[in-house]
Amino acid sequence: PLVTFATKIIPALVAGCPVIVKGAPESQLIMRVVAECVEAAELPEGALSILCGDADLGRQLTADPRVALVSLTGSQRAAQEIIDATRGRFARTHLELGGKSAALVLDDADPAEVIKTLMPGAAAGTGQVCALLTRILVPATRLEEYLDVIKQAWARLKVGDPFDPAVQVGPMSNQAARDRTEDFLATALDEGATVVVGGRRPAGLDNGWYFEPTVLTDVRRDSRLAQQEVFG
């Protein structure tokens, strides 16, 4: 949330524009910390306002005729609502939505080198990154080789308390995110996919929305998993 927040407000403030931020309900504690930093920095009053609330607050802000630009990182549904709310006054919009990015591995690539960037690119942020490499395309002739390397790499990812320096994967943001992930997995298995590594809630982590980093193979190109963003 902090990175998303910063990339939106810094250019606007540099350009001399006051900014109102409506953070996601799951990130309101971070917004509070940032608000305290803004106060400590003694920014001019009104230069940066941080509001916490639900989707109705966001709708109220985007519909306000005094708002000249709306920047969203979120879902296609929210983006459509923003377009509908702003089109009458020709307000500008900046919409960063979901994705289904692919990692394309060529024939002459070294798996040991590829995995150094592939693993963080495909497993960061507990899967909740819009630019995540959620599809890994490798040469068919080297499939087993890559599956072995990927399985070993993903199995080494330590899941647990994010305050533990040894942990690489924390919990997802809320129960809905984990439920969505499990639903995608169940559908993928019904459609013929096979779990290579992960695929379940980790043992001993009952307090929090934890799920193991998961890799599947035998995923049909027209399947839901191949076509839609999981964000988990």
Catalytic residue annotation:
96, 130
Please state whether beta strands 133-137 and 101-104 pair in parallel, antiparallel, or not at all (unpaired).
Answer: parallel
> What is the C-alpha R_g of the chain?
20
Q: Are 211 and 181 in contact (CB under 8 A)?
A: yes
Which among 97, 94, 57 has a CA at the least distance from the CA of 74? Answer: 97
Q: What letter represents residue 147's amino acid?
A: L
Q: DSSP letter at 136? A: E
CB within 8 Å of 198: residues ≥ 6 apart: 154, 211, 212, 213, 214, 215
Geometric angle at alpha carbon 10, from 5 and 12, rounded to 5°: 105
